[in-house]
Structure 1
Amino acid sequence: MEERYIPHKEALSIINKQESHFWDFKSASGGGKNVQEIASALANAEGGDFIVGIEDSKRCSGIDRWKGFATPEDANWIHQALVGEIDPPVPYELEYLWIEGKGDLGTCCLVSVQKSADVHKTAKGEVLQRRGAQSLKLTGGKIADLSLSKGARSYEDQSLDDYDTEELSEEPELQTFLKGYSPASTAEKFLKRQRLVTRKGGQATVAAAILYAEEPAAIVPKRCSVKIARYESTESTPDRKYLKGTPLTIDGPARLLIDRTLTSVSQMIEAVPVLGTDGMMSPVKYPPEALKEIIVNAVIHRDYNVSDDILISIFDNRVEVRSPGKLPGHMTRENLLSDRFARNPSIVRLLNKYPDPPNKDIGEGLDTVMSAMKAAKLKEPTFAVDENAFVVVLAHTPLARPEELVLEYLGNNPEVTNKIARSLTGIESENRMKQVFYKLKKAGMIEPVPGRVRSKYAWRLTEKGVTEAKT
């Protein structure tokens, strides 16, 4: 336990924080039940913080919300709730905050809860888990899934023999982060409180290096970089002869790694020309929010125990993001959009503490990708577990049916070949494309161009097709 005085401005900053997946407020008069629920829910998720002594914004506003305890001893029931009423007790730390010159407002109790290897229950035997800004009650199979996902010690918690508190404290990225962190803290205190260094010896963890080291790849080799390759091909397994230039390697602490990767990938994609239904070549355009979410997920959810870098391959018709490691815990391709599990809870939680975090919408990443692709009228991304990697494919394939795309193209151009049509529709098989043509021919929409054979074979609109294309 520690007691600390903070400036009035910092107290307002705490009060004005939005409730989230990692943060919550509790009234000093709320009682042990509320503390049990939020603490166990955080420990059953990725951990987080909550403060006791702040009133609901619906009751009052501004500094008037700070209604703390007269003395720390008055808050002893919080200890009891955390240790004696949650089974098993959650891992936590407490800090009592006073406002400078405002002792009459009392002290608020800041509680930091860590994720643990146990499933925690309240005194009533309820199992809750934090999801967004809510603590949701789990039952039946959901509890079983949580149990399966617990127990495995994440590689992010491994300590590094040659990287310690002193070196980590001087990292520019950590200093930048702490400037905007509230409540204000020294580097050493923050690192200890967040368990980013060992209690004895002060060795930094893998998570600390990933988040704040200027060159993480020099400290944790072959696990921290992103490689970007451009293939001038649409083949599913392209030959190296299609590789354009030397693959680009991106390094840096997690936040900067994400920003740098997104910038480089976007620039490379914009240089890829594609054929549109108007017959013109134009740059590929993917929804920026979809690209960002896929890159963020690859960085924060990859398996850092696997000695391999994230690989992003940019093809003429798609982008593939290969993140090392299979799906964690109980996660499967089938429940990706409904469930969540963080393999690296410390990285996820601490990256979210930046003023404008890249993982702002916890638990909504893949939903955002799906919605963004649909809004852009592109086909949904595909997900696969390939050997020892999780692969996401964003195809630059229009959402419209192949028949519609062919008719739209012919509405702007005199004829179309099998090769051009495959480029438009994303259909890889020449025979499958022929079936689309035959279907349109049977409907009286198109006909073969006279005198064309073999590789020059092409199709054109009939009178009926011209009318259909115009409508």
Structure 2
Amino acid sequence: MMWQINNISENSVEALLKKEEDQFCDFKDKSNVAKCTKTISAFANADGGDLYIGIRDRAEDDRLGYLFVNPEEANGCISAIYEQFAEGVEYLYVEYLQFPAGGLCLHVIVQKTPFVVYSSDKRVFKRQNASDRELKTAADQQALFLEKGIRSFEDAAVEATSGEISKAPLMKIFLENVVPHSTVEDLLRKERLSTDDRLRACALLLFDENPQSLLPQAAVKLYRYRTLASEGDREDLEGQPLTIEGPIYDLIYKAVSKTKEKVEEIPLMSQGGLASIKYPEEAIHEVICNALLHRDYSINDYVHIRVFDNRIEVESPGRLAGPITVKNILKQRFVVTKKLFVLLQNSHHRRIKMLARDSTPHSEQCSF
């Protein structure tokens, strides 16, 4: 395969050499391919980045003294890099940079991947500032799997049994509407909602009347800030934050209702005098659905809803999962809590099914 060769000017060389090694940029000597694959693993498992192979780091005197002589010299390096991306080479772009005084640099553009990328010696790294941090422990690697959406915390076992949800109101609704008719035990077994007589987190979130007793992070915090500022300070906070709890079905509707109440308390000057703000309930419902159905419940933090004088902010904890980035978030889809989403989607109860539909991202925006 032939790779593109781009000639760069003296000014471009000067600008390139001024680049700092940071979260998204690094320089590597061509002599150590293993180190190059380590950095590429780190970029892919974080937010992506640019690696320049053949340019030594800023601590060296002769940074351009070890460029590739010709494209063929870089073949071994390129092969090692592409072996790392067997699950998807579309997250990788490679080009040569031809320097005015002779020599080539290999420029590797790495995108954030929805799969784990390993170094050539099968270790896992993640970019942290200007360094490549190895994820050595099982806990660190599990956190990466959850972050990428490869695994979901909804499958984790919790300290609750099927007997604790068998009489729950939402369980009754599901059993009445499931086709074909099923018992509690059948539903839990078929949908793999329990393991070794313990419920999985998905079942707790969906059916338990107070899942926050075991998963306190599954609550919602609602704040009202009397300010137009970009951030709310303590002195702007009206009263104490409201904690909203319950199974996810009730939680969404409670959060929407309470948020709507807070918004409608804000006075708005109109031609006829003071009036209440009317914010589209569908928009609030959609955003809160997304925040609660597409979050990582392994993270010990709440969903935060902040009502300002001119806007509503909904903050869901965690990083963007899978292939989702800031650039493609309005077009790309990725479900973190797949089992929870599917159960809602497959329900024959109209109002429950609506939750799954409303958790599909849209680009419509509203303001006061």
| TM bucket normalised to smaller | 0.5 to 0.7
**1:461 equivalent in structure 2:** none
Residue of structure 2 aligned with 1:241, choices 235, 246, 260: 235
Say whether 1:292 aligns with 2:285.
yes
Aligned partners of 1:305, 1:188: CA distance in 2, in Å?
26
One-letter code aligned to 2:186: K
Query: How much has 1:307 moved relative to structure 2?
Result: 0.6
Percent of aligned positions that are identical: 33
Distance 1:285 1:327, change over 3 A: same
Aligned position for 1:280: 273
Matched, 1:155 2:153: yes
Shift of residue 174, structure 1, vs aligned partner: 1.1
**What is the CA–CA distance in structure 2 between the aligned matches of 1:344 and 1:257, rounded to whole Å?**
16
Matches within 5 A, 1:47-86: none
Is 1:185–2:179 an aligned residue pair? no
Q: Secondary structure at the match of 1:365?
A: coil
The reply on whether 1:337 has 2:330 as its aligned counterpart is yes
Offset of residue 189 of structure 1: 0.5
The CA deviation at 1:274 is: 2.3
> Partners in 2 of 1:365 and 1:183 — Cα distance?
30
| Structure 2 residue identity aligned to 1:155 | F
In the alignment, which residue of structure 2 is the partner of 1:435? none
For 1:365, the equivalent position in structure 2 comes to 361
Count of aligned positions: 230
Q: Determine whether 1:195 maps to 2:189.
A: no
Quick one: structure 1 residues 295 and 174, their matched pair in 2 at CA, closer, same or farther if it must change by over 3 Å? same
Query: Does the Cα contact within 8 Å between 1:302 and 1:324 map onto a contact in 2?
Result: yes
What's the C-alpha RMSD, in Å, of the aligned pairs?
Answer: 2.6
Q: For each residue in 1:93-133, what CA deviation from the matched residue of structure 2 results, as whole angstroms up to 9, or x when unmatched?
A: xxxxxxxxxxxxxxxxxxxxxxxxxxxxxxxxxx9xxxxxx
Unaligned stretches of 5+ residues in structure 2? 1-86, 93-111, 117-144
**Residue aligning to 1:271:** 265
Shift of 1:338: 1.5
Contact persistence 2:115–2:322 (CA under 8 A) = no
| SS in structure 1 of the partner of residue 205 of structure 2 | helix
Offset at 1:280?
A: 3.5
Q: Distance in 2 between matches of 1:139 and 1:348?
A: 29
Among 301, 304, 310, which residue is 1:308 paired with?
A: 301
SS of the equivalent of 2:222 reads: strand
Pairwise CA distance, 1:360: 4.2
- Name the CA shift for 1:140/1:253 in 2 (closer, same or farther; >3 Å): same
Give the number of the structure whose alpha-carbon radius of gyration is greater: 1
Q: Name which of 240, 254, 257 aligns with 2:251.
A: 257
Structure 2 CA distance for partners of 1:212 and 1:363, relative to 1, 3 Å: closer
Instruction: For 1:145 and 1:363, locate their aligned partners in 2 and report how far apart those are by CA, in whole Å.
Output: 23
> Are 1:176 and 2:173 an aligned pair?
yes
Structure 2 residue 213 is the aligned partner of structure 1 residue 213: no
Could you say if the C-alpha distance between residues 232 and 307 of structure 1 is closer, same or farther in structure 2, counting changes exceeding 3 Å? same
Q: Alpha-carbon deviation of 1:233?
A: 1.1
Deviation at 1:359, TM superposition (A): 2.8
Compared with structure 1, are the counterparts of its residues 349 and 242 closer, same or farther at alpha carbon in structure 2 (3 Å cutoff)? same
SS in 1 for 2:304: strand
In the alignment, the residues of structure 1 paired with residue 90 and residue 233 of structure 2 have an alpha-carbon distance, to the nearest angstrom, of 49
Provide the C-alpha distance between the structure 2 equivalents of 1:259 and 1:330, rounded to a whole number of angstroms.
29
Asked whether the equivalents of residues 311 and 322 of structure 1 are also in contact (C-alpha less than 8 Å), the reply is: yes
Note the residue ranges of structure 1 that are not aligned, 5 or more in a row: 1-126, 128-137, 379-394, 397-471
Superposition TM-score, scaled by structure 2 size:
0.58
SS in 2 for 1:352: helix
1:275 partner SS: strand
TM-score normalized by the length of structure 1: 0.45
